[in-house]
Amino acid sequence: MGVSCEQLRVEELRMRYEELLEDPSVYPTEANWQFICDHRLEGLGHLLMAKYVTSLDRDELDREELHQVAIEQFPNYLQAVDRLYALEVVYEYSQAPDEVIVDLIRRCRLFDAARLLGWLRQDRVWEVMAVLDVYQPEYEPDDLEAMRALSAAIHRLPAEGRVEERRGLFGVGMKYICPNGHVNAPDAEYCSHSGCGLNAQGLTADQVKRLEVLDTRIDALTHLME
């Protein structure tokens, strides 16, 4: 396969960027970001993700212009490169706070049921439930099968709460004990204690609603793919 002069020039620049970005103190300029996005340069994702995360981690008053540029441009980069590469960068990056990863998945439509099922098996339930209602750009039959497997696994989450007999001021009675140990009325579906709200499976009402969105989406996709 032949290589054009332009392809060679771009690859040389990509390699140079890779070398420079290894330095924690080096951040791309806006022109650099534009070139990287326009040419969909892969191989830089984890380095650019590190710049994004460290920029977000700085106090807003301490952020310099290049930090703000990184915050603005990294989501654009994820949407410019091949989707499979973007998924690899975000889902396999382990040095970012959970809320940062969730935000990128939501903003860049990086829903991937197979990878989320892997997270669920690692007990990363909060992250999984936070993105269940996110779309992805296109769906193939394999995506539908992965979504079904993910939904089934969530529905099979073991019950961590329970209804049991408890002694109180007015005698013995049945109570719902949520996964965090809070005592509720026996017919409570969700814990009523402030800041909790868990059902027996350890899910909040908002998380259950997202699961319902996923199940509806599965039904719609099934109908469209018949």
Residue 170: pLDDT above 80? no
**Alpha-carbon span 154 to 33, nearest angstrom:** 39
**Tokens (6 digits) for 44:** 């830089």
Tokens 């996709």 belong to 221
Q: What pTM was estimated for this model as a whole?
A: 0.90
pLDDT at position 178 is: 94
* Coil, helix or strand at residue 107: helix
pLDDT at position 223 is: 97
The percent of residues above 70 in pLDDT, for the chain, comes to 97
Closest CA to 14 of 46, 48, 45, 41: 41
Q: What is the pLDDT of residues 133-169, one digit of tens each?
A: 999 999 999 999 999 999 999 999 999 998 887 766 5
Tokens 């040095």 belong to 95
**Alpha-carbon span 79 to 76, nearest angstrom:** 5
The percent of residues above 90 in pLDDT, for the chain, comes to 92
What is the rounded average pLDDT for all residues in the chain? Answer: 95
- What strands, in cross-sheet order, belong to the sheet with 171-177? 162-168, 171-177, 183-184
Residue 47: pLDDT above 90? yes
Q: First vs last Cα of the chain: how many Å apart?
A: 41
**Alpha-carbon span 45 to 183, nearest angstrom:** 47
